Amino acid sequence: MTSKVASMADAVRDLVRDGDTVAIEGFTHLISFAAGHEIIRQRRRDLTLCRLTPDLIYDQMVAAGVARKLVFSWLGNPGVGGLGAIRRRIEGEIPEEPLEVEEYSHFGMVGRYTAGAMNLPFFPLRSYFETDLPVANPLIRPIASPYGDGTVYAVPPLRPDVTIVHAQRASAGGDTQVWGLLGCQKEAAFAAERVIVVVEDLVDEAVIRADPNRTIIPGLIVDAVVVEPWGAHPSYVQGAYDRDNRFYLDWDPISRDEAATQAWLREWVHGVEDRAGYIEKLGAERVASLRPSASAPSGSVDYGAYR
């Protein structure tokens, strides 16, 4: 199989275009901050950013001016507070940088990716009844069951131009394996026109084939494989490094202040060349503190050989 391995700079240059609908997915786990920062460095513009939880990465990207619109279901810094840069733009504090929003619930967003992945015209779900969400977002619409069995709500398919996911490992051909929280990366990847996979480890195809149940995305739909250890910091990678909760707590006062947010971007995004530079700046001590306290390997299963 031909190698799809690329540098982050090349992958973003080739596959993320101004005006694109972009999904950097991963529910608290495996968020590709490395890709988000590269998109900022390359000064993409007018992106529609999709994520269930915009998280710190979209707060940073919105602050950097790459986005025109945000599609989401939960807008916050989990357990800490709000996302200041995004809030300021929604609340109109920075009128020269308005941000359009399109809002669903979690299940609605997951359903949208699923419909996109399955080439369906909509996804039906039992949510939104008697709420203001369909008023705020008229794309959420009631539909009667064709079998006369009541009414559900429908959400439209979401088909990103490019989906970017971080994973523990992939082969050079893009076959990608994940363990730990799975979020909706599989659905977001199958829904997308182009897919970038960012991994901690590049592995031989034999490693993938030894454990096929763990493959969530086949190389078939992958355009680029970027090898970027620690590329998910301050989010986490199950078994490799912990969520950097200190970073999430520290972001709160930075994010509350536009000048502090811009200063952070200058120092930590524009001020470093790439992810390796970011990790070096973060420091060996901080990095070491995020290692799991002990190993917890899975048992292995026997697939058997059938010749």
Q: Which spans of this chain sit near other proteins (rule: CB under 8 A)?
A: 27-29, 52-53, 72-76, 78-80, 82, 86-87, 90-92, 103-107, 110-111, 114, 125-133, 135-136, 149-151, 179-184, 186-187, 236, 238-239, 242-243, 245, 248-249, 292, 296
Residue (78 or 253) nearer to other proteins, CB: 78
Q: Please state the closest distance from residue 179 (CB atom) to other proteins, in A.
A: 8
From the list 102, 94, 28, the residue with the least C-alpha distance to 65 is: 94
Residue with token string 């794309």: 139
Give phi and psi for 78, each to the nearest 5: -55, 125
DSSP lists the bridge partners of residue 29 as 236
Read off the tokens for 218.
């086949």
Report whether 222 contacts 192 (CB < 8 A). no
Residue (16 or 165) nearer to other proteins, CB: 165
Residue (3 or 151) nearer to other proteins, CB: 151
Q: Please state the closest distance from residue 182 (CB atom) to other proteins, in A.
A: 5
Dihedral sign, Cα of residue 249, residue 54, residue 113, residue 149:
positive
From the list 218, 260, 220, 188, the residue with the least C-alpha distance to 32 is: 188
Q: Please state the closest distance from residue 135 (CB atom) to other proteins, in A.
A: 8
Residue (123 or 278) nearer to other proteins, CB: 123
DSSP 50: E
Q: Please state the closest distance from residue 34 (CB atom) to other proteins, in A.
A: 19
Q: Please state the closest distance from residue 29 (CB atom) to other proteins, in A.
A: 6
Residue (58 or 107) nearer to other proteins, CB: 107
Report whether 36 contacts 61 (CB < 8 A). yes
Residue with token string 């199950």: 238
From the list 195, 105, 197, 196, the residue with the least C-alpha distance to 159 is: 195
Residue (16 or 75) nearer to other proteins, CB: 75
State how beta strands 176-177 and 47-50 pair. unpaired
Report whether 140 contacts 102 (CB < 8 A). no
Residue (19 or 98) nearer to other proteins, CB: 98
Residue (36 or 183) nearer to other proteins, CB: 183
From the list 260, 268, 258, 262, the residue with the least C-alpha distance to 234 is: 268
DSSP letters along 92-145, please?
A: TSSTTS--EEEE--HHHHHHHHHHHHHT-S-EEES--TTSSHHHH-TTSEEEE-
Q: Please state the closest distance from residue 50 (CB atom) to other proteins, in A.
A: 14
Q: Please state the closest distance from residue 239 (CB atom) to other proteins, in A.
A: 8
Residue (237 or 279) nearer to other proteins, CB: 237
Q: Please state the closest distance from residue 292 (CB atom) to other proteins, in A.
A: 7
Q: 54-93 burial string, b = 16+ CB within 10 Å, else e? A: bbbbbbbbbbbbbbbebbbbbbbbeeebebbbbbbbbeee
Q: Please state the closest distance from residue 296 (CB atom) to other proteins, in A.
A: 5
